[in-house]
Amino acid sequence: MPYNALFTERKRKILSQLDVPDQEYTDLSPKGSVDAGIREFVNEINLLEGYVTTSSCAGRVAVFLDGANKKSENAAAADDDDLPSSAAPSGGKGGGQWLYVSHDPVDVSSLQKDGELLALFGTKADEDVSVPPRDARPRFVHFRFEPMILHILTSSLQNGQHAHTAAMSAGFRESGIHSIAGNDPNPIVAVRTMGLAFSSIIAYATTNGEIRPMVSETYLRALVQIANERFVVNADRTERFRRALLGLDVKVKEGANGEWEPADVRRERKRAEGLRRKQEVESQRKAQDGIEAKSDHDGYDMPELPN
């Protein structure tokens, strides 16, 4: 299906920004580039006719300090969606601050000493666990895991529906599609799920800027373990979405459960089944011909021999 003029121009501009080495590509995110864990997939999408990515994040663990205007964690997350980048700016809107961001599982194997994990996330390691005074209006520190998010601009409603269906089938249940009105729409598909996301307050900032822990380091290690496990699930869902979008898999029923089967394997299986059915039909036809021939012979009236 041919591109419309608007889509062609928008894709050209986007690709011109992405078609640079990682060290030269910059955007408004803390990392400053498309995440390494998703860049190959982004390139595959952008090679498809009628598709181009406008923003992406492979999934991340983030520790965020609220801004001075008391913006909540949810508001900070909403800011991320408004940006044409892979994450939010390092300072955050409203004066917030990213204390830690990783698009890979957190390696805690080298953080075995007391206080090291707290320090990694910007918290004073030598402070006892405490809570802010009731009359205080502190800025809280949030530990959160966010799964893969991807925005894809498409050249037609048909392409948009295909991307949306692939996302939903892969487990990205909160995916959506918009900009579908008009005679020649360019739908945008937001690929996302909230099923893997979670957040927890782990610390607060005092009036003089000190960040004090509200949870123990043992509890913090448990949060990290949960996040690392969800990285694995996130990677699995992302791969399922990739294969569905690129048409590498088809879903077939095997018994009551069903399973994923590679397209080339399915083609070979279907060909073998077709040959087998053909042979069965041919065998049945030959058997039927033999029965009919025998029946005709048995029913033939032989003349009586003379005495």
pLDDT tens digits, residue range 236-257?
999 999 999 999 865 544 544 4
131-181 confidence digits (pLDDT tens): 998 888 889 999 999 999 999 999 999 999 999 999 999 999 999 999 888
Q: CA-CA distance, 129 to 206, in Å (whole number)?
A: 13
CA dist 38 and 234 (Å) reads 12
Helix, strand or coil, per DSSP, at residue 48: coil
**CB-based contact 40:150 (threshold 8 Å):** no
Closest by CA to 207, choosing from 68, 63, 99, is 68
Question: Who contacts 219 (Cβ-Cβ below 8 Å, separation ≥6)?
Answer: none
- Give the SS3 label for residue 107: coil
Stretches where the chain sits below pLDDT 70 are 1-3, 19-33, 69-94, 249-268, 290-307
- Give the pLDDT score at 34: 76
Q: Quick check: pTM over 0.75?
A: no
Sign of CA dihedral 174, 196, 64, 102: negative
What pLDDT is attached to residue 26? 46
DSSP letters for 230-281: HHHHHHHHHHHHHHHHHT-EEEE--TTT-EEEEHHHHHHHHHHHHHHHHHHH
Specify the 3-state DSSP secondary structure of 289.
helix
First CA to last CA distance, the chain: 88
- Return the pLDDT at 67: 86
